[in-house]
Structure 1
Amino acid sequence: MSVLVVIPARYASTRYPGKPLVALTGASGVASTLIERSWRAAMSVQGVDRVVVATDDDRIAQTAQAFGAEVVMTAPECANGTERCAEAHAVLGGGYDVVVNLQGDAPLTPSWFVEALIEAMQASQDADIATPVLRCDGATLNGFLVDRKAGRVGGTTAVFDGNRKALYFSKEVIPYIGTSFADDAAETPVFHHVGVYAYRPAALAAYPGWTVGPLEQLEGLEQLRFMESGGAVLCVEVDARGRQFWELNNPEDVPRIEKMMAEMGLE
């Protein structure tokens, strides 16, 4: 099964303009851009045939090419990463069995998260899209709650049925829990959605033509378009294996991610 990984990156982020070019300092004190760290994460995944950065911005393209990445230029009109992945796959001539969207704001994504998606697509031939979910520990859940009270989006959460079919994704913390958890709690009932997707080419190609529904508009979550169009999203539970994980959504996330890299000894 041939696998293409696309890293969509745009400069004009609403919440954090220029985010792909933000420098993050690792454990050794060396700073690298967010897009380079995301590319390194993609390159570490086993079972991948090709990795490309898809962007509409010359600054991002030049930076990516400078550290050795293959770049595919896409239209500024792409509304989200999934649309950009669809265009990139088409520009490359298609032909891949699975296309992975490794979003360019998640440099701490472990390689085994993506490998689990690839394995799930191999095992579930009827799955059109798969995405990882990670059970929150107490510290992660409490961080989400603190961010929401402060008006920030700390992460996306997911709920799914007994067959791991997604029921909903939200930037709010779902499901509602009527109790509190200590930071050292190993498990909570809340699942953190990790912003990585594996698509079948047919579903990916159809996506840009589907109507943007009210839930996607309200939440700003691209995966909801699949659900609002009647598609099924397979949630694949992954194990962090002690690895800390966080996405860069706001400027306040930079020191948080740098602290995590320092604690984990990540360069």
Structure 2
Amino acid sequence: MSPPFRVLIPARRASSRLPDKVLAEVAGRPLILHVLDRARASGAVSVHVATDSEAVADRVLADGGDVVMTSAHHRSGTDRLAEAVSVLGFDAGDIVVNLQGDEPAMPIACLIQVAELLAEQPEAQMATLWSGIEVEAEWRDPNVVKLVADHAGRALYFSRASVPHPREGGWPRAQGRRHVGLYAYRAGALAAWRTLAASPLEQLESLEQLRALQAGWWIATAEAAAPIPVGIDTPEDLARFRASLSQASV
């Protein structure tokens, strides 16, 4: 039986590559509601959309969803979740899954998996997933975040660089891991997030999870139980998602 967990969906309208993407219409409904559908189907004990946008809040509320309004000045989704946890008054031990507002095809099995992973690691503050890298170009792509972990699955480092890097050349087909941006946190860890010292590594790589690692946090990791599609960042991504729904309805 899966542990009880909550889902928070950070959703902002600003996006450099695809403005207003969370409100883009797909099959007659805004994208954010398709994400909400995934969260609801996971069996979470609560689901909230955390947003600074009245327009997003209105669409979610009209669909019967729950919203928590947050500041417009957060630098990351985790900062937004930290405020949401404070506003909602979650217990410190609650497991909170962070489902991004542009991930409408996230497998439900993975939402449950990341919550279970954190529940099984009582010393961990966070948990996340990865998938194997099958193509060398993906391993070399700085837009693909790579993960290195120890034998127990505890994260050692996240990087945009091509790691681990074989000294003798070539690429590590068997060890390349693409980090999947799906997280579970203990609510108490989210409450402590904003007190963490600034991280030079986070600023260097523009990866917020490095703030946690540099602070000494334990991030549990595991291979994703199901293939996870790339999130929607561009008009082309949005077109592919629209096409996938059209094909599914045939």
Asked if the contact 2:130/2:222 (under 8 Å) is kept, the reply is yes
1:5 is aligned to 7
Aligned: 1:68 with 2:64: yes
Which residue type is aligned with residue 118 of structure 1?
A: A
Provide, for residues 136-172 of structure 1, a one-character-per-residue CA deviation record: whole Å limited to 9, x for no partner.
344xx64x369x4xxx83x422121111111222334
2:21 is aligned to 19
In the TM superposition, 1:59-98 aligns within 5 A as 59-95=55-91, 97-98=94-95
Q: CA deviation at 1:174?
A: 3.3
Q: CA deviation at 1:230?
A: 1.5
Asked if the contact 1:22/1:33 (under 8 Å) is kept, the reply is yes
1:196 is aligned to 182
1:184 is aligned to none
Q: Call closer, same or farther: CA 1:262–1:216 in 2, change over 3 Å.
A: farther
Aligned: 1:123 with 2:140: no
- Count of residue correspondences: 245
**Residue range with higher mean Cα deviation, 55-64 or 254-263:** 254-263
Q: Give the gaps of 5 or more residues in structure 2.
A: none
Q: Distance in 1 between matches of 2:128 and 2:90?
A: 21
Aligned: 1:175 with 2:164: yes
Q: Call closer, same or farther: CA 1:207–1:41 in 2, change over 3 Å.
A: same
Q: Call closer, same or farther: CA 1:202–1:190 in 2, change over 3 Å.
A: same
Q: Distance in 2 between matches of 1:54 and 1:224?
A: 23
Q: Give the gaps of 5 or more residues in structure 1.
A: 25-29, 182-186
Q: Distance in 2 between matches of 1:107 and 1:93?
A: 27
Q: CA deviation at 1:179?
A: 4.2
TM-score (norm 1): 0.81
Asked if the contact 1:105/1:247 (under 8 Å) is kept, the reply is yes
SS at the partner of 2:221?
Answer: strand
Q: CA deviation at 1:58?
A: 0.9
Aligned: 1:111 with 2:108: yes
Asked if the contact 1:127/1:233 (under 8 Å) is kept, the reply is yes
Q: Distance in 2 between matches of 1:13 and 1:49?
A: 30
Which residue type is aligned with residue 13 of structure 2?
A: Y
User: Structure 1 stretches (4+) deviating beyond 6 angstroms?
Assistant: none
Q: Distance in 2 between matches of 1:217 and 1:58?
A: 30
Which residue type is aligned with residue 204 of structure 1?
A: L
Q: Distance in 1 between matches of 2:233 and 2:244?
A: 15
Residue number among 207, 211, 218 corresponding to 1:221 in the alignment: 207
Residue number among 31, 35, 43 corresponding to 2:32 in the alignment: 35
